[in-house]
Amino acid sequence: MANILVTGASGQLGTELRNRGFSLLDEVFYTDIEELDITNANAVCAFIENHDIDTIINCAAYTAVDLAEDNEEKARKINRDAVENLAKAAVRYGCLLIHISTDYVFDGCAEEPYTEKSPTNPQSVYGLTKLEGEKIIKKSGCIYIIIRTAWLYSPYGHNFMKTIYKLAHEKKEIGVVNDQWGSPTYAGDLADMIIRMMECDELPELEGIYHFTNEGKCTWFDFAKEIVALSGCDCEVKPLTTGEYPTKAKRPAYSVLDKSKIKKIFGCEIREWQEALRSCMITFEER
Ligand SMILES: NC(=O)c1ccc[n+]([C@@H]2O[C@H](COP(=O)([O-])OP(=O)(O)OC[C@H]3O[C@@H](n4cnc5c(N)ncnc54)[C@H](OP(=O)(O)O)[C@@H]3O)[C@@H](O)[C@H]2O)c1
């Protein structure tokens, strides 16, 4: 039996973890900013001590990639400083820290999937502050698992799948970038992976960085076309270049992650992104 703290539990990944649940033997405390603001170091320590927490799963983050460009201080407060609070508390109370990071720690200049050992070089404030969060964990001396993921979507919160689904119902034509490559990831599949990892008794000895996305790669245009097809709408998706769709934050042109390590160590297979999307859309449309 373990006492587990999930932070940022009202976000996409946190909600998927809550929907799935852990072993009945575990006591899980799902918190978001109202119950536990992770930027408050004293509150973090008090919560962990009072609830005798063994494992922290940090799903909290500042995830507004474009807004972060003008809000660097706030992004850093949540993506770095608050992560330091969790890491220090993990050292003090002997907890395992499971933390989620991003493909945006890479610059996108690669031509083959990034491994956990590939050099990082973030191109945005979001990516930079998330990398700072990774570094502070590694330096802290806590026992950690960092999972980098990418292009996360779910029936909850704000995400690309929901935006395209809505636009497909409203418009006859939409334009989507066709020169940025990555791997869409259903937050439910990532939640399943985390639960599977938690079931491994040797998890603390397996500390390190892991990459997890759904299998396969595509562009945002391919992803949008699949969403529109599944929505059954008669909306044409037109390919755009990054230059034709400028955003405040620079996105990596290629951010496919190599998942060999997580698959080998935890002996798991990962679904193709199209299959995961179908399953997420069913849940989304049933809501
Ligand atoms: N979304 C993606 O495409 C993507 C891609 C790669 C990696 N990731 C990473 O995956 C993880 C999960 O992402 P997600 O999409 O599930 O994020 P999300 O939906 O934005 O959820 C994050 C949650 O954290 C909460 N939060 C913010 N500040 C907090 C604080 N100080 N204390 C406690 N909670 C706080 C947020 O509340 P508010 O909503 O009120 O701010 C929100 O409920 C994050 O680490 C993210 O960086 C995401």
Assign residue 150 the CATH number of its domain: 3.40.50.720
d(CA 263, CA 52): 31
Ligand 1, residues 31, 63, 161: which to mutate, most atoms within 8 A of Cβ? 63
Instruction: Decide: 180 and 124 in contact? Cβ < 8 Å.
Output: no
d(CA 62, CA 51): 25
Atom 44, ligand 1: which residue's CA is nearest? 61
Ligand 1 atom at minimum distance from 63 CA: 20
Ligand 1 atom at minimum distance from 160 CA: 3
Examine residue 169 and state whether it is found in any structural domain, yes or no.
no
> How many alpha carbons fall within 13 Å on the CB side of residue 172?
0
Examine residue 99 and state whether it is found in any structural domain, yes or no.
yes
Instruction: Decide: 179 and 221 in contact? Cβ < 8 Å.
Output: no
Phi and psi, residue 236, nearest 5°: -85, 135
Range of the domain at 31: 3-157+184-214+256-271
Examine residue 127 and state whether it is found in any structural domain, yes or no.
yes
Q: pTM for the whole thing?
A: 0.98
Q: Number of folded domains in the chain?
A: 1
pLDDT tens for the chain, 287 residues long, are 789 999 999 999 999 999 998 887 789 999 999 999 999 999 999 999 999 999 999 999 999 999 999 999 999 999 999 999 999 999 999 999 999 999 999 999 999 999 999 999 999 999 999 999 999 999 999 999 999 999 999 999 999 999 999 999 999 999 999 999 999 999 999 999 999 999 999 998 999 999 999 999 999 999 999 999 999 999 999 999 999 999 999 999 999 999 999 999 999 999 999 999 999 999 999 98
Examine residue 31 and state whether it is found in any structural domain, yes or no.
yes
Examine residue 190 and state whether it is found in any structural domain, yes or no.
yes
Closest CA to 199 of 12, 6, 71, 26: 26
Examine residue 241 and state whether it is found in any structural domain, yes or no.
no
Examine residue 27 and state whether it is found in any structural domain, yes or no.
yes
Q: Find the residues whose C-beta lies inside 6 A of ligand 1.
A: 7-8, 10-13, 32-33, 37-39, 59-61, 63, 78, 82, 100, 102, 130, 149-152, 157, 187
Q: Active-site residue numbers?
A: 126
Tokens of 16: 């998927």
In angstroms, what is the span from residue 152 Cα to ligand 1's centroid? 10
Examine residue 196 and state whether it is found in any structural domain, yes or no.
yes
